[in-house]
A and B are shown apart, each in its own frame.
Chain A
């Protein structure tokens, strides 16, 4: 626990003894702001698209993203930065360096964690493992069992962050590999049902660990119009409870704004994805009001 919180709470406790249990509602009036930044499917797009590009002229570029992220961190130091997979494959940088440059740059940008996309297996599970020394961030995926692969022990199902006294649980999900990635690439990696795993993770993080915020980093795809029952972020959101935000990837979905979805209890939560190739950065701000009576008011979502 941070010292500031300790003091604040000790003071509150002392005051309480004096007041004999009255006037508790106003013991803290501070609002905490947690900023979540995210990318997905950057696909080795390190340089910006050139001015002649037919689709995305002058867009993207890691150096510009770095500048933007630095300014956001300056504005709010209580910021976490995530990637939802498919870091690899798409430009010759990957063919030449096998992902080394991608991981080094993400480390320099101070990414906190990434989940694993299908293209991150493009040089095999061994190729991914070989690049791990260049990544100073965590890999999070709860539904790939890497036990019988070289990646065993290098991927966490979830991670908990304490940011300004706010407890944030983040878990990852990967897409079904069979039919998408050659078996000789993913080897003995076992894919588990993401919806079931997501509910287990959410129960663990929200109920057992009592996280204030539960985030899913997903590479299962936003939605499949031709296969409406395939696991997707929208289906996941509707079928589970306890998740506050799904940061998606895989389908290269460009959204005008984050999607507000009702979970299985009818509570609103957010699903977001920011297209691909580092053209956009997603930003979600959560405002925590620790002094508020928690039954008094709903959550306002501004997107």
Chain B
């Protein structure tokens, strides 16, 4: 392949010479002139030593080598990693709070204890920051059910728990939505019938599954007003097809990761005992 794709460097005689194409020097010329030419070329070559004869590979071998436990580990690398590993593990295993029960995102239909815990926790951690920066209160929170990646087990809640439950690097944003956008948001939730975690928002669906009523902080929604909605940057970007977040007036970036906010929240609670409640229900 290679040998055909690059033209012979005809302008560089020394290189040409050394590529083994001696026939091209010219068999029709006399011996005398040929010898002269060779001598000339040789001197030329010796004075331009950086001109390497071009090299051409004749064979390629390719393979993939699996890194498995049968390979010997480098003790020097092991020793170098160890203090880092120790510090990370110690920090990950540091106890933040205590869970009185085991909480899973599958324990509930339209709302779950673990989802309520996270949505309420994010609201509690974010609202003071948002208020300080914007002068407004956050009206309600909505994140995605799929963002909860593990259970919280009964017992100690550690930093590792927070990493397991929220491995993604998503950050908190506050989106200013018009009443129209809030309406779309409610219709989305009514149609999805999934326990997307919410806080400060109450939704009732009728027996047929249609939106019956909704309240923000216990008050009826004014669709002519605007609302400040806490969510994450994944949903703002159109994740889970929550496209209503794109129709916002303003986005406030808090520079606060979801996981870090929850770690900070757990630190403020000696124990957590969240419950499934009536924030999002379907009337029977």
Give the B-binding residues of A (Cβ under 8 A): 1, 5-6, 9-10, 12-13, 16-17, 20-22, 24-25, 27, 32, 46-48, 58-68, 70, 89, 92-93, 95-97, 101, 104-105, 108-109, 122, 165-167, 182, 184, 206-207, 210, 212-213, 241-242, 244, 255, 257-258, 265, 267-270, 272, 274, 278-295, 297-303
Interfacial chain B residues near A58, Cβ < 8 Å: 68-69
Q: A5-B52, A67-B74, A212-B54 are in contact. Are A96 and B64 (CB under 8 A)?
A: no
Q: Which of B87-95, B108-116, B190-198 contacts its partner?
A: B87-95
Q: Shortest beta-carbon distance, B17 to chain A, in Å?
A: 8
Complex: A213 Cα to B1 Cα, angstroms: 12
Complex: A257 Cα to B63 Cα, angstroms: 6
Cβ of B38 and Cβ of A60 under 8 Å apart? no
B135 within 8 A of A: no
Q: A62-B81, A68-B67, A280-B66 are in contact. Are A210 and B59 (CB under 8 A)?
A: no
Interfacial chain A residues near B6, Cβ < 8 Å: 206-207, 210, 242
Complex: A32 Cα to B55 Cα, angstroms: 9
Interfacial chain B residues near A280, Cβ < 8 Å: 64-67
Interfacial chain A residues near B253, Cβ < 8 Å: 184
Q: Shortest beta-carbon distance, B196 to chain A, in Å?
A: 23
Q: Shortest beta-carbon distance, A130 to chain B, in Å?
A: 17
Partner of B19, one of A21, A167, A242, A294: A294
Interfacial chain A residues near B65, Cβ < 8 Å: 68, 280-283
B256 within 8 A of A: no
Cβ of B56 and Cβ of A61 under 8 Å apart? no
Cβ of B1 and Cβ of A268 under 8 Å apart? yes
Cβ of B55 and Cβ of A265 under 8 Å apart? no
* 25 residue pairs from A and B, CB less than 8 Å apart: A9-B18, A10-B46, A13-B42, A13-B45, A20-B35, A24-B22, A27-B20, A58-B68, A59-B67, A59-B68, A63-B77, A64-B69, A108-B80, A212-B56, A258-B62, A267-B5, A274-B64, A278-B67, A279-B67, A280-B67, A282-B62, A283-B62, A288-B55, A288-B57, A301-B62
B25 within 8 A of A: yes
Interfacial chain B residues near A297, Cβ < 8 Å: 58
Name which residue of chain B comes closest to A94, CB basis: B169
Complex: A186 Cα to B49 Cα, angstroms: 45
Interfacial chain A residues near B80, Cβ < 8 Å: 104-105, 108
B163 within 8 A of A: yes
Q: Shortest beta-carbon distance, A42 to chain B, in Å?
A: 10
Partner of A285, one of B25, B61, B85: B61
Instruction: Supply 15 further A-B pairs (C-beta < 8 A) apart from A66-B77, A96-B87, A274-B64.
Output: A1-B49, A20-B35, A62-B77, A64-B67, A65-B67, A66-B74, A108-B76, A167-B52, A167-B55, A184-B253, A269-B1, A270-B62, A280-B64, A283-B62, A297-B58
Interfacial chain A residues near B88, Cβ < 8 Å: 92-93, 96
Name which residue of chain B comes closest to A6, CB basis: B49
Cβ of B1 and Cβ of A257 under 8 Å apart? no
Cβ of A46 and Cβ of B66 under 8 Å apart? no
B239 within 8 A of A: no
Q: Shortest beta-carbon distance, A142 to chain B, in Å?
A: 20
Q: Shortest beta-carbon distance, B227 to chain A, in Å?
A: 24
Interface residues of B in 162-196 (CB under 8 A from A): 163, 169
Interfacial chain B residues near A284, Cβ < 8 Å: 60-62
Q: A1-B49, A62-B77, A280-B65 are in contact. Are A265 and B60 (CB under 8 A)?
A: no
Complex: A1 Cα to B73 Cα, angstroms: 36
Cβ of B60 and Cβ of A270 under 8 Å apart? yes
Interfacial chain A residues near B22, Cβ < 8 Å: 21-22, 24
B225 within 8 A of A: no
Partner of B38, one of A9, A10, A16, A282: A16
Cβ of A242 and Cβ of B77 under 8 Å apart? no
Interfacial chain B residues near A105, Cβ < 8 Å: 77, 80-81
Cβ of B55 and Cβ of A165 under 8 Å apart? yes
Cβ of B62 and Cβ of A97 under 8 Å apart? no
Cβ of B59 and Cβ of A299 under 8 Å apart? yes
Please indicate which of the listed interface residues B18, B42, B50, B57 has the most CB atoms of chain A within 10 Å of its own CB. B57
Partner of B31, one of A20, A46, A68, A268: A20
B9 within 8 A of A: yes
Name which residue of chain A comes closest to B171, CB basis: A182
Cβ of A92 and Cβ of B2 under 8 Å apart? no
Cβ of A288 and Cβ of B84 under 8 Å apart? no
Cβ of B64 and Cβ of A93 under 8 Å apart? no
Complex: A283 Cα to B2 Cα, angstroms: 20
Complex: A25 Cα to B20 Cα, angstroms: 6
Interfacial chain B residues near A70, Cβ < 8 Å: 74
Complex: A105 Cα to B76 Cα, angstroms: 10
Interfacial chain A residues near B49, Cβ < 8 Å: 1, 6, 9
Cβ of B2 and Cβ of A21 under 8 Å apart? no
Cβ of B84 and Cβ of A24 under 8 Å apart? no
The 6 tightest CB contacts between A and B, nearest first, are: A267-B1, A66-B74, A258-B62, A63-B73, A63-B77, A287-B59
Per-position 1/0 for B33-51, Cβ under 8 A of A? 0110011001001100110
Q: Shortest beta-carbon distance, B150 to chain A, in Å?
A: 13
